[in-house]
Amino acid sequence: MTAPEQPLPSKSETEPDEQDSLVKGVRLHGERHQRSLREGTPSVARQLAMIGVLGWIIVVPMLVGLFVGHWLDGWIKHDSTFLRRFIGLGRDH
């Protein structure tokens, strides 16, 4: 006696669901891997430039806060009230 034949799954049952987060993650990882194979690793200069930009993103708001706070303290004749507050605002931006 033979087992009854199972019908073949339809095409929609065998293809991955495009809304599934796992499928999206795997596809994105594959695309990034292919791009890295094509373009290669970034040069040391490019990596240092990215680190430099990160430094400026952190330092510039603090320096702006320093100068604005110092100017306001001098204008209003306070000790360093605005200076400390604006440096803190620049740090927390």
The structure's pTM equals 0.46
In a domain, 4, yes or no: no
What are the tens digits of pLDDT across the range 23-54? Answer: 899 999 999 899 888 888 888 888 888 888 88
In a domain, 85, yes or no: yes
In a domain, 69, yes or no: yes
In a domain, 54, yes or no: no
Classify 35 in phi/psi space as left (phi over 0), alpha (psi -120 to 50) or beta.
alpha
pLDDT band at 4 (very low <50, low <70, confident <90, very high): low
Domain of 87, in residue numbers: 61-93
In a domain, 87, yes or no: yes
Q: Which residues of 19-40 are buried (b: 16+ CB within 10 A; e: fewer)?
A: eeeeeeeeeeeeeeeeeeeeee
Contacts of 78 (CB under 8 A, 6+ apart): 72
In a domain, 55, yes or no: no
In a domain, 22, yes or no: no
Q: How many domains does the chain have?
A: 1
- Tell me the longest C-alpha to C-alpha distance in the chain: 101
